[in-house]
């Protein structure tokens, strides 16, 4: 019976999928499977032939293999490796080369024989590539083929660099990279214009010949393409769907990457559910969208015809369910994000007391506050609360070099106008200009340049906060140490980051904390900053009594938005408030028009924010609630 239940749950899935709680657990499981293979082969005095992948996905797998080598005496002397791909052209000692990646993340830390390592050669003359690729295939065949192939998956659905349009029987070859793939790699290369347009990759046909294939994916960013790869029809537009043809493949996912699979996203379509309040709310909102009816117009027939008969039978009639979900949504809407004084707060998202709250808005970068919750920020100030804003990082990697020169030129002219000596400043300016003229992609800036970039972001943040109505004494610049590396890879979080956060929290003693909860931020800064806040609060809750009355609200906006069923506080904005929010965002001039790191969304930040806020309001309207100009959305964090 259990087997039948599993088949029912996974009937939308066209290949085997195993889901783990998080990427750390999943990575350890994959590493153990590799280690077991290596040891089995050692017992037989045979070589283990591994196909290896690069990128962020397999890093923790390699870390665990290194640990097993050092602590459990796992030897790699019988291991032969073939990497999936390499950019072309690419020097092996370049920072972005996969040769360097594999050395730094695995090979330099284990006892593998260097002659057993094979990585496509990015230095070849173009006329030699065809013969080289054929030889690469022959080398794999000569050692008995791949015992296990590790794969990640790109957002185009590529495996290796087999981009959309690749044939299922393709071999190792030179390919042209998709524009989205190059955009995803742009941060590693200091801009998309520096990303190679081509790569050498194993073909899908080569990958298919492996005796075992493991495709790994972590994070919600991968969820949409995982759904297509696992549940979609086979198509050259999504090359990973060809893996549905293999009898030897398994997808290993964390819960976030699996979140859009039918059995997790809409489980009522595949099995009987244990209905709780949150799942009912999600299902009814989904049904409303599916049949294009406001919630209060949904019927028992709508429930029965769309996989929700069980809910209608157990919790119905439909109208009672509709009323309950409608009321939940209605009660999430408030024009009083700090609570409404002298009002019944039993159905409101925030408390009425104290009437004047101390609120602190944590902003990972110097503009996340106004981009993501600028309307709520302004409203909190207007309604008389003691609002503070804390900029957690300097954001100094996201300023154009031309802006640096422009600001220093301004400083020189200003000093001259006051009769001050500018010799030292002009010498610094010439040093900066010379460095910028010769600067390599992703090269760490001079300290002076990093300082100016930080000053630019700081001055803009002050202007934005002042525009929102804040006094200067309530504007805090934390410059958390983990961020201040001058490069895209940041330092690990240390006690100092947490202690600085604890000090500020103890100083303000907030009733409300607002923190960035959009973990799709491609730089990873948002989730790091959020975890620092959580750790600070975890420690403070042991000794500080005020923490028991402190609520934490998560906001989103720059990179993604909450789903309607998740929203616990929706703050409506009038057309005038939308304009005020836009003006606050405009204070961040260095991020206007074209930011240094836009991600894969070409829209300006203010446009993204406005359109997401309008889409949230439109979603509420379609569900049958009031029609507002825009809405900012929040979810309350539940402390353990």
The mean of the pLDDT values for the chain is 94
For the chain, where do the domains classified as CATH 3.40.50.10320 start and end? 356-398+453-635
**What's the confidence (pLDDT) of residue 61?**
98
Residue 4, class by beta-carbon neighbours within 10 Å (0-12 exposed, 13-18 middle, 19+ buried)? exposed
pLDDT range class, residue 604, cuts 50, 70, 90: confident
| 189 in Cβ contact with 95 (< 8 Å) | no
Residue pLDDT, tens place only, 323-351: 999 999 999 999 999 999 999 999 999 99
How remote is the C-alpha of 184 from its chain's centroid?
12
Q: In sequence order, which ranges of 418-446 are alpha helices (DSSP H)?
A: 423-438
Give the separation between CA 463 and CA 440, rounded to whole angstroms: 32
Give, in words, the CATH class of 16-261. Answer: alpha beta
Measured in whole angstroms, the distance separating CA 89 from the mean position of its chain's CA atoms is 29
Structure tokens at 639: 């402390």
pLDDT of 1 > 50? The answer is no
> Is 163 among the residues known to form the active site?
yes
| pLDDT confidence of residue 5 | 52
Which range is least confidently modeled, 181-195, 243-257, 541-555, 605-619?
181-195
Q: What gap in Å lies between CA 428 and CA 122, rounded to an integer?
A: 39
Q: For residue 617, what are the CA distances in angstroms to 96, 553, 620, 622?
A: 43, 19, 5, 9
The pLDDT of 169-192, averaged and rounded, is: 89
Q: What is the mean pLDDT of residues 479-487?
A: 83
Confidence of residue 484 (pLDDT cuts 50, 70, 90): confident
Q: Does residue 200 contact residue 122 with C-beta atoms inside 8 Å?
A: yes
Strand runs labelled E in 178-218: 198-201, 213-217
CB 116 within 8 A of CB 59: no
In this structure, of 386-400, 449-463, 488-502, the range with the lowest mean pLDDT score is 488-502
Q: Which of 60, 86, 163, 460 is catalytic?
A: 163
CATH 3.40.50.1360 location in the chain: 16-261
DSSP state of 242: G
User: 525-540 vs 495-508: helix axis angle to the nearest 10?
Assistant: 60
Taking the C-alpha atoms of residue 549 and residue 537, their distance in angstroms, rounded to an integer, is 12
Q: Is the pLDDT of residue 64 over 50?
A: yes
599 falls in which pLDDT band (50, 70, 90)? low
Residue 539 Cα distances to 96, 144, 327, 506, angstroms:
39, 55, 37, 11
CATH topology assigned to domain 356-398+453-635 = Rossmann fold (3.40.50)
Find tokens 């609630």 and name the residue.
625
Task: Give pLDDT, residue 2.
Answer: 41
**What mean pLDDT comes out for the span 526-535?**
95
Element (H, E) at 634: strand 630-636
Judged against a pLDDT cut of 70, whether residue 3 lies above it is answered with: no
């Amino acid at each position: 019976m259990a087997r039948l239940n599993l088949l029912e749950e996974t009937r939308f899935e066209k290949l085997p999928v195993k889901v783990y709680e998080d990427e750390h657990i999943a990575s350890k499981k994959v590493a153990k499977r590799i280690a077991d293979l290596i040891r089995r082969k050692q017992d037989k005095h045979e070589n283990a032939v591994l196909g290896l992948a690069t990128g962020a996905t397999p890093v923790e797998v390699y870390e665990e293999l290194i640990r097993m080598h050092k602590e459990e005496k796992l030897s790699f002397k019988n291991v032969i490796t073939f990497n999936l791909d390499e950019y072309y052209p690419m020097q092996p000692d370049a920072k972005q080369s996969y040769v360097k990646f594999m050395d730094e993340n695995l090979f330099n830390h284990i006892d593998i024989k260097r002659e057993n390592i094979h990585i496509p050669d990015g230095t070849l003359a173009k006329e030699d590539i065809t013969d080289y690729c054929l030889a690469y295939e022959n080398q794999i065949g000569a050692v008995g083929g791949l015992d296990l192939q590790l794969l990640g998956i790109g957002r185009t659905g590529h495996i290796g660099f087999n981009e959309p349009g690749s044939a299922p029987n393709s071999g190792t070859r030179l390919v042209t990279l998709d524009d989205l793939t190059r955009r995803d790699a742009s941060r590693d290369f200091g801009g998309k214009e520096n990303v190679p347009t081509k790569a050498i990759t194993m073909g899908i046909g080569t990958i298919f010949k492996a005796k075992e294939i493991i495709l790994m994916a972590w994070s919600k960013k991968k969820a949409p393409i995982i759904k297509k790869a696992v549940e979609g029809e086979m198509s050259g537009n999504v090359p990973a769907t060809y893996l549905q043809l293999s009898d030897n493949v398994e997808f290993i996912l964390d819960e976030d990457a699996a979140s859009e699979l039918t059995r997790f996203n809409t489980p009522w379509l595949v099995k009987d559910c244990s209905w709780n309040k949150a799942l009912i709310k999600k299902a009814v909102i989904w049904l409303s969208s599916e049949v294009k009816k406001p919630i209060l117009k949904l019927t028992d027939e709508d429930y029965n015809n769309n996989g929700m008969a069980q809910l209608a039978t157990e919790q119905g009639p439909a109208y009672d369910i509709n009323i309950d979900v409608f009321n939940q949504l209605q009660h999430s809407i408030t024009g009083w994000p700090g609570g409404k004084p002298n009002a019944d707060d039993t159905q409101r998202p925030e408390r009425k007391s104290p009437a004047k709250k101390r609120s602190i808005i944590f902003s990972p970068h110097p503009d996340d506050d106004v981009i993501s919750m600028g309307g709520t920020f302004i409203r909190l100030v207007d309604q008389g609360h003691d609002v503070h804003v804390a900029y957690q990082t300097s954001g100094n990697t996201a300023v154009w070099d031309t802006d640096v020169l422009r600001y220093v030129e301004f400083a020189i002219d200003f000093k001259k106008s006051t009769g001050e000596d500018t010799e030292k400043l002009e010498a610094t300016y010439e040093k900066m200009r010379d460095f910028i003229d010769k600067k390599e992609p992703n090269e760490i800036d001079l300290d002076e340049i990093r300082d100016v970039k930080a000053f630019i972001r700081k001055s803009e943040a002050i202007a934005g906060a002042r525009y929102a109505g804040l006094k200067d004494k309530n504007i805090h610049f934390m410059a958390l140490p983990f961020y201040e590396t001058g490069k895209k890879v940041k330092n690990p979080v240390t006690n100092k980051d947490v202690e600085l956060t604890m000090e500020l929290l103890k100083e303000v003693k907030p009733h409300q904390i607002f923190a960035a909860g959009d973990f799709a931020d491609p730089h990873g800064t948002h989730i790091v900053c959020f975890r620092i806040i959580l750790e600070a609060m975890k420690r403070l809750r042991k000794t500080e009594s005020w923490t028991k009355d402190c609520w934490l609200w998560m906001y989103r906006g720059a990179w993604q938005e909450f789903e309607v069923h998740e929203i616990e506080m929706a703050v409506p904005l009038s057309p005038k408030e939308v304009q005020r929010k836009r003006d606050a965002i405009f204070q961040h001039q260095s991020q206007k028009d074209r930011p240094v790191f836009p991600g894969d969304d070409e829209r300006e930040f203010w446009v993204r924010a406005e359109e997401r806020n309008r889409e949230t309001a439109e979603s509420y309207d379609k569900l049958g609630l009031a029609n507002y100009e825009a809405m900012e959305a929040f979810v309350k964090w539940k402390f353990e």
